[in-house]
Structure 1
Amino acid sequence: MSFVEIDVFGVLISPLVPLMALAAAITVALRVVMTELGLMRHIWHPALFEISMFLILLTAAVLILASLKMYA
């Protein structure tokens, strides 16, 4: 598994940046859905739950993209 930097107008960006943005967007969407359904009130520590959910989604995105070999 190897990730290479992404060239954006001459600036090299870590390949984790778009993956972190994807994981953050999914985390926000899940938080909104869980709040609307009333599930967040059953969680003891919402901030800890949200950072854990973010890290799980980020790890899943890295592993899925590594298995697809999108970054060479």
Structure 2
Amino acid sequence: MSFVEINILGVLISPFVPLMALAFAITMIWRVVAVEFGWMRRIWHPALFEFSVFLIVLTATVLIFGHLRIYN
């Protein structure tokens, strides 16, 4: 698993940045669904739970995209 920098108009961007944006988008979609179904009312500390879900989704996206070798 190797990642290389992304060149955007001469600025090198870490490959972690778009993966964080993707994980954030997935987490926000999950949050809307959880609020709509009332799951967030049953959570003791919603902010801590959402951060944990974000970290889990971010880890999954890094592992998935790392094995796809898109960034090579």
Which TM-score applies when normalising by structure 2? 0.97
Distance between the aligned counterparts of 1:25 and 1:15, measured in 2? Answer: 16
State the SS of the aligned residue for 2:58: helix
The residue correspondences of 1:1-72 to structure 2 (distance < 5 A) are: 1-72=1-72
Distance between the aligned counterparts of 1:5 and 1:34, measured in 2? Answer: 35
1:71 CA displacement: 1.1
Which TM-score applies when normalising by structure 1? 0.97
Runs of 5+ consecutive residues of structure 2 not aligned to the other structure: none
**Identical aligned residues as a percent:** 68
Q: Deviations over 1:13-48 (max 9, x none)?
A: 000000000000011111011001000000010011
* CA RMSD, 1 decimal: 0.5
Q: Which runs of 4+ in 1 moved over 6 A?
A: none
State the SS of the aligned residue for 2:7: strand
Distance between the aligned counterparts of 1:69 and 1:22, measured in 2? Answer: 17
Runs of 5+ consecutive residues of structure 1 not aligned to the other structure: none
